[in-house]
Amino acid sequence: MEAIKEKLIVSVSPHVRTEESVSRIMWTVNLALLPATVMAIYFFGIRALYVLSLSVMSAVFFEWAFEKFTKRPVTISDGSAFLTGLLLGMNLPSGVPFYLPVIGSFVAIVITKHLFGGLGYNIFNPALIGRAFLLLTWPRIMTTWLEPSGFTVDAKTTATPLMILKEEGIGRLLELFGDKANLYIHLFTGQRAGSLGETSVIAILIGGLFLLWRGYITWHIPLSFLGTSAVIAWVFGGKGVLFTGDPLIHLMSGGMMIGAFFMATDYVTSPMVRKAQIIFGIGCGFLTMLIRLKGGYPEGVMFAILIMNCFAPLLDRAFKTRVFGARKGQKK
């Protein structure tokens, strides 16, 4: 019996824990991005594969290097650096030179994530800061889009549907795609110019609904984000006349879908309290549409989410959960 005493472990309850873990969550989200990854490669060919693997590999490398350099435990197996790299790649045009994904990953992993304290402590979504840095530094490269021409060697450059909508109006967009039904089909499947992983609505929906079904995300942020955007697009998106906009075009183009399901829902940079998440989503939708309709850029998802990231802790404070037994409005 004495020998046992040496071995007994004493710690605070609870003595059982869930099977869930950070790495399981991260790898599940990576898995949920698989359909979008496959579609990216299908539409943008070998270039997509090249850009995506480069950004994933450099993100993982920078995490490893930073942690080695600062003598911290190496956490590359938890899948979070992989996810950041994958999301960054998904948000790049297919024709970017090799140094863009590498520099973007550096900004995302080293500056946005680790210099703020590593996983859990970053204020901003790392992949989006990476992309924002690239967009502001190389604005031309970052807005040069190639046609979704699969594995053909010389893809032509073209404009994204949102650029056309902003510069030339809905008429030109319909002219290019034939009719509205055809436009919707192209947007839904993803056969259009745009960032690698953002174009295929159906692929993103499959991944997003999978995460919803498994409980890794909840409806609060995506629904309030998309709903707000849809309402604003409908009310203010028309030509001079209120209530004539086309919400579907707005929902299915740009980074709206991947933003609502995969970027705005990032645990670390979004609120935890459900009510706060709804406000967060509404803010994302509002800012996105403000930029799209009134701003200088055709697309606003990235900036909208980054701006709302700043408010996440504040929203959690403002919408603190109600303590059991406390009456409504009762503050202690």
Contact call for residue 311 and other proteins (CB under 8 A): no
Give the contacts of 193 (CB within 8 A, at least 6 positions apart).
Answer: 145, 146, 147, 148, 158, 159, 160, 161, 199
Among 69, 98, 99, 121, binds other proteins (CB under 8 A): 121
Residue with smaller CB distance to other proteins, 50 or 116? 116
**For residues 159 and 225, what is the distance between their CA atoms, to the nearest angstrom?**
25
Pairing status of strand 157-158 against strand 145-146: antiparallel
The interface region with other proteins, picked from 204-212, 279-287, 300-308, 319-327 by CB under 8 A, is: 319-327
Is there binding between residue 329 and other proteins (CB under 8 A)? no
Q: Choose between 23 and 157: whose C-beta lies nearer to other proteins.
A: 23
Residue 7 as a binder of other proteins (CB under 8 A): the answer is yes
- Which of 153, 181, 294, 325 binds other proteins (CB under 8 A)? It is 325
Q: Print burial letters for 141-167: b (CB count within 10 Å at least 16), e (below 16).
A: ebebbbbbbeeeeebeebbbbbbbbbe
31 binds other proteins (CB under 8 A): no
- Residue 136 CB neighbour total at 10 angstroms: 9
Write down the least CB distance from residue 153 to other proteins, Å: 43
CA-wise closest residue to 278 among 312, 301, 237, 322? 312
Does residue 310 bind other proteins (CB under 8 A)? no
Residue 115 engages other proteins in binding (rule: CB under 8 A)? no
Q: Do the beta carbons of residue 94 and residue 47 sit within 8 Å?
A: yes
Q: Which pair of tokens denotes residue 151?
A: 């594995």
* Angle made by CA atoms 17, 113, 60, in degrees to the nearest 5: 80
Q: Which stretch binds other proteins (CB under 8 A): 10-18, 164-172, 184-192, 222-230?
A: 10-18
- Nearest approach, Cβ of residue 165 and other proteins (Å): 35
- DSSP SS3 for 157: strand
Is 1 a binder of other proteins (CB under 8 A)? yes
Q: How far is the CB of 83 from other proteins (least distance, A)?
A: 12
Residue 63 is a binding residue for other proteins (CB under 8 A): no
Does residue 136 belong to the site contacting other proteins (CB under 8 A)?
Answer: no
Binding mask 254-293 for other proteins (x = CB under 8 A): -------------xx-xxxxx-------------------
258: closest CA among 305, 192, 296, 292? Answer: 305
The dihedral built from the CA positions of residue 98, 101, 104 and 110, taken in this order, carries a sign that is: negative
Determine the interface stretch with other proteins among 87-95, 150-158, 175-183, 318-326 (rule: CB under 8 A). 318-326
Of 87-95, 118-126, 146-154, 185-193, the window that binds other proteins (rule: CB under 8 A) is 118-126
The whole-angstrom separation of Cα 44 and Cα 32 is 20
Among 24, 50, 65, 111, binds other proteins (CB under 8 A): 24
Tell me if 11 contacts other proteins by CB under 8 A.
yes
Token code pair at residue 96: 């970017």
Write out the residues near other proteins by the rule CB under 8 A. Answer: 1, 4-5, 7-18, 20-22, 24-25, 117-121, 267-268, 270-274, 316, 320-327, 332
